[in-house]
Chains A and B, each alone.
Chain A
Amino acid sequence: QQQVKQSPQSLIVQKGGIPIINCAYENTAFDYFPWYQQFPGKGPALLIAIRPDVSEKKEGRFTISFNKSAKQFSLHIMDSQPGDSATYFCAASKNSGYSTLTFGKGTMLLVSP
């Protein structure tokens, strides 16, 4: 049972474009929704995260939009740059005390110059 569904699997945009990556979850006990960014040869690193009490969070060029009723959240990258080319994972966690994360399958983003 896949608890966090992520789409698309891959995405190509031109520099300056706004790639959007979508995730949907099923478990209403989830209360923390992070996005991780992974460059080739590196481990994933936390990019931005949101809790369900807000509908949007911005950090620099990265924005999470959250729709609690639809159980969906998305990552938007404003003014995308070639350096943003990476694999992006959405994830979700519930307050179990152990901070375990359930990850989506990932989106490979390529920003062309």
Chain B
Amino acid sequence: DVKVTQSSRYLVKRTGEKVFLECVQDMDHENMFWYRQDPGLGLRLIYFSYDVKMKEKGDIPEGYSVSREKKERFSLILESASTNQTSMYLCASNGSPESYEQYFGPGTRLTVT
């Protein structure tokens, strides 16, 4: 059974802080994704990674960066958190180009005050 875990379910940070969101998958998946979910806006892709140390921008990368040092771990970094980055952050992984199915973690609700 595929498992995607995220380091925190809830996080409260102050404006200007550097924030790290961690995601780990246990299925040796090649592809990993970070989304943010906002009411009425659905899921929007921030960044994705198709291999270790490889990354690609998604639709809304501004204000974010990512790191993938190991295959199983994909980190989302907010260099200087702002209030408009208050959101639910979802990590997902995918096993192969032939299978489009993405497996999601439970999400991290980040509040920036």
* A positions within 8 Å CB-CB of B: 6, 9, 32, 34, 41-46, 49, 89, 93, 95, 97-106
Beta-carbon contacts under 8 Å, B39-91 to A? 40-45, 48, 50, 56, 58, 90
* B positions within 8 Å CB-CB of A: 4, 31, 33, 40-45, 48, 50, 56, 58, 90, 92, 94, 96-97, 99-107
Q: Which residues of B contact A42 (CB under 8 A)?
A: 106-107
Q: Which residues of B contact A44 (CB under 8 A)?
A: 43, 90, 104
Q: Which residues of A contact B41 (CB under 8 A)?
A: 105
Complex CA–CA separation, A49 to B40 (angstroms): 23
Q: Which residues of A contact B102 (CB under 8 A)?
A: 46, 99, 101
- With a 10 A CB-CB cut-off, give which of B43, B97, B105 has the most chain A CB atoms: B43
Q: Are A6 and B42 neighbours in the complex by a CB distance under 8 Å?
A: yes
Q: Are B99 and A103 neighbours in the complex by a CB distance under 8 Å?
A: no
Q: Are A43 and B106 neighbours in the complex by a CB distance under 8 Å?
A: yes
Contact of B42 among A41, A43, A45, A103 (CB under 8 A): A103
Contact of A34 among B56, B100, B107 (CB under 8 A): B100
7 contacts between A and B (CB under 8 A): A43-B92, A43-B105, A43-B106, A98-B50, A98-B97, A99-B97, A99-B100
Q: Which residues of A contact B44 (CB under 8 A)?
A: 103
